[in-house]
Amino acid sequence: MELRIDIAPNCSLSPAGAKRFMASIGLLSLPLSLVWAWRGFWPVLLYWALEMVALGMALRVSMGRRFESQTVRVTESQVSLVTRTRRGETHEVFARHWAKVRLVGARSAQSRSRLTIESRGRAIEIGGFLTDEDRRRLAARLRTVVGGMNESPPLEVNSTVGDPSR
């Protein structure tokens, strides 16, 4: 028996949608700036370029979440974790009996909580892109299936945290 938990952030904008948006705003504002530049008022074009870079970076940072996801698989003997980012995939495997789930709360309103699976000196973060509340729920869920050190509770059904459509 295997329990699988997929974790992904909620992103309502697709990469194609982001491209369409940037194209629409660029196509509207670039000709305007070019007209002013052509009339000799080139600083307008300079500010336009700066603004487009800022907008593009903001979209890229926010959409970076889309490339992040994790899958936790819990079997009778193992806890495996697949972490996907923009740079690729990493796999980690823990012996279920010796693994434990640890949630360290946020220290201030500006920081966030941190959820890890730990075993034999190794600690891997789970759900770094989730909200604190989602992370707390995930921690509670994982504790029921992974258990503490030297525990192997019975497995249950599949579940998903975040956006399962991705």
Partner 1 sequence: MAHAIEIAPDAHDAHAAHDGPDTGIRRWLFATNHKDIGTMYLTLSLIMFFVGGAMAMVIRAELFEPGMQLVDPAFYNQMMTMHALVMIFGAVMPAFVGLANWMIPLQIGAPDMALPRLNNFSFWLLPFAFTLLLSTLLVPGGAPAGGWTMYPPLALQFGDSFPMLIFSIHLMGISSILGAINVIVTILNLRAPGMTLLKMPLFCWTWLITAYLLIAVMPVLAGAVTMLLTDHFFHTSFFNAAGGGDPLMYEHIFWFFGHPEVYIMILPAFGIISEIIPTFSRKPLFGATSMIYATASIAFLSFIVWGHHMFVDGMPTSADLFFMLSTMLIAVPTGVKIFNWTATMWRGSLSFEPPMLFAIGFLFMFSIGGFSGLMLAMVPADFQYNQSYFVVAHFHYVLVPGAVFAIMGGVYYWLPKWTGNLYNMKLAKTHFWLSTIFVNVLFFPQHFLGLAGMPRRIPDYAVQFTDWNMVSSIGGFGFGLSQILFAIAIIQCVRGGKKATAEVWTGAAPHGLEWTIPSPAPYHSFQTAPEVR
Which own/partner pairs from 147-151 qualify as long-range (CB within 8 Å, at least 24 positions apart)? 147/96, 147/100, 148/100, 149/98, 149/99, 149/100, 150/97, 150/98, 151/97
Q: Does 93 contact partner 1 by CB under 8 A? A: no
Measure the CA–CA gap between 90 and 75, rounded to whole angstroms: 19
46 lies in the binding site for partner 1 (CB under 8 A): yes
> Which of 87, 133, 150, 154 forms a contact with partner 1 (CB under 8 A)?
133
The alpha carbons of the chain give a radius of gyration, in whole angstroms, of 22
Cα–Cα dist 82/91, whole Å: 5
Does 157 bind partner 1 (CB under 8 A)? Our answer is no
CB 95 within 8 A of CB 127: no
Give the pair of three-digit tokens for residue 161: 């945290």
Question: Any bridge partners for residue 73, and if so which?
Answer: 4, 80
Query: Which is nearer to partner 1, 93 or 106 (by Cβ)?
Result: 106
Q: Smaller CB distance to partner 1: residue 13 or 123?
A: 13
Q: Could you say which of 10, 80, 116, 152 contacts partner 1 (CB under 8 A)?
A: 10
Q: Which of 75, 77, 90, 160 binds partner 1 (CB under 8 A)?
A: 160
149 in contact with partner 1 (CB under 8 A): no
CB-nearer residue toward partner 1: 20 or 122: 20
- Chain contacts with partner 1 (rule: CB under 8 A): 10-13, 17-18, 21, 25, 28-29, 32-33, 36, 39-41, 43-48, 50-51, 54-55, 58-59, 61-63, 65, 103-111, 113, 131-134, 136-141, 143-144, 159-165
